[in-house]
Structures are given as structure tokens and as C-alpha cells.
Amino acid sequence: DVKVTQSSRYLVKRTGEKVFLECVQDMDHENMFWYRQDPGLGLRLIYFSYDVKMKEKGDIPEGYSVSREKKERFSLILESASTNQTSMYLCASSFSGGITDTQYFGPGTRLTVL
């Protein structure tokens, strides 16, 4: 079974802090994704990566950056956390980015910014 793990299930940070969310997948997938989930808005894509050191902006990249130094690990960085970044963050991975590929999701990190 594909396993996607996220470093924290719950995280509380203060406004202005630098926040790192880590995601690791164990199936040698090429593609990794970061989504943000908010009630009534569904999932929105923040960034995705199709290879090591490669990244593409999604629909809502403002205030976020990402890093992919190793194939299995994809990090989401909030350079200076703000209260409007309080949300559930979901990481996903897929094999090759083919149009019918299944994305496999981690359990999510619920981030609260005070």
C-alpha cells in the first residue's frame, strides 16, 4: 500500500513564525502536491512538484513556498505565518502525473496560527 505521511497532525504557531510542513511518500512517486482544505471551499492546490528540485505554482501559492530536495520528501514552507493561513493542509503523491493517475493523500496537518 502507498503510504503518505505528514510530520504533524496538529500544529499551533504564532503570527510571523516560519512554519515547515513535511510530507514523505514511500512509493517512489514522481509527483507530489500540497493542498489546502477549508470548509465550503473544498481542496485548493498550493504547489506541486513533478521531479526533484522542480516545482510549479498551483491556484493559491501566495504566502507559501516549497522544497523538494529528495524524491520522497516535499516540504511546504510558510515564510511568515498569518492567521488567514489557519487551515487543514493535505499532501498527496502520484506515480507519473498521467491524466488518470490516482493521487494518494496523507492524513493532513491542521494548522492554527494565533
Partner 1 sequence: AQSVTQLGSHVSVSEGALVLLRCNYSSSVPPYLFWYVQYPNQGLQLLLKYTSAATLVKGINGFEAEFKKSETSFHLTKPSAHMSDAAEYFCAVSNQAGTALIFGKGTTLSVSS
CB of 108 to partner 1, least distance (A): 5
* CA 93 distance to own-chain centroid: 10
- Among residues 43, 71, 86, 95, the one that binds partner 1 under rule CB under 8 A: 43
- DSSP letter for each residue of the chain: ---EEES-SEEEE-TT--EEEEEEESS--SEEEEEEEETTTEEEEEEEEEETTEEEE-S--TT-EEEEEETTEEEEEESS--GGG-EEEEEEEESS--TTPPPEE---EEEEE-
Interaction between residue 58 and partner 1 (CB under 8 A): yes
Write out the three cell numbers for 85. 493561513
Interaction between residue 22 and partner 1 (CB under 8 A): no
DSSP bridge pairs for 49: 32
Interaction between residue 54 and partner 1 (CB under 8 A): no
Interaction between residue 25 and partner 1 (CB under 8 A): no
Closer residue to partner 1, CB minimum distance, 17 or 51: 51
Interaction between residue 50 and partner 1 (CB under 8 A): yes
Interaction between residue 56 and partner 1 (CB under 8 A): yes
Residues lying near partner 1 in the complex (CB under 8 A): 4, 9, 31, 33, 35, 40-45, 48, 50, 56, 58, 90, 92, 97-108
